[in-house]
Structure 1
Amino acid sequence: MDTALTVSPQDAFFIEYYREKKGAKSRSAVIREALRLLRETTLEEERAAGTRPYPGS
C-alpha cells in the first residue's frame, strides 16, 4: 500500500539527515522506524496505565 505524506520542511530535513546518519535505505524506512517506536511507546504507556492496548497490538 502506498500512502503519501506531507511534512514540514524541517521534518523533511530531519528525515533525510536521519536517513544519511543511520544509513537507512530510504525515507520510508525512517518513517517506519518512527512509527515502530511510537507504537512501542504507546503500548508501554497503555500497559502501565492498565488500559486496553490499541487494536492490532
Structure 2
Amino acid sequence: MIKFCCHTHVDIAMEEIIDECEVAPVVELLTENDKLSTSCSYCEETPVYKVSNE
C-alpha cells in the first residue's frame, strides 16, 4: 500500500498503514525529482511524503 500525502495528512496516512497492514509505515520525503502530477490522497494539495508498508 502506498499513499502520497501533504504535511497535513501524513499522520492519517501513517495510521491507515498501521491499521490495515499491521506494520510500521515507511515515510519518505519526496524530492523535486519525485514530484508527481497527482495530488494528496486526502485533499488537492501537492504531495510531500510517500507513506508505504514496504
Same fold (TM over 0.5): no
- Larger helix fraction of residues: 1
Structure with greater Cα Rg:
1
Tell me the TM-score normalized by structure 2.
0.30
Which structure exhibits the higher relative contact order, with contacts defined as CA atoms closer than 8 Å and separated by 6 or more residues? Answer: 2
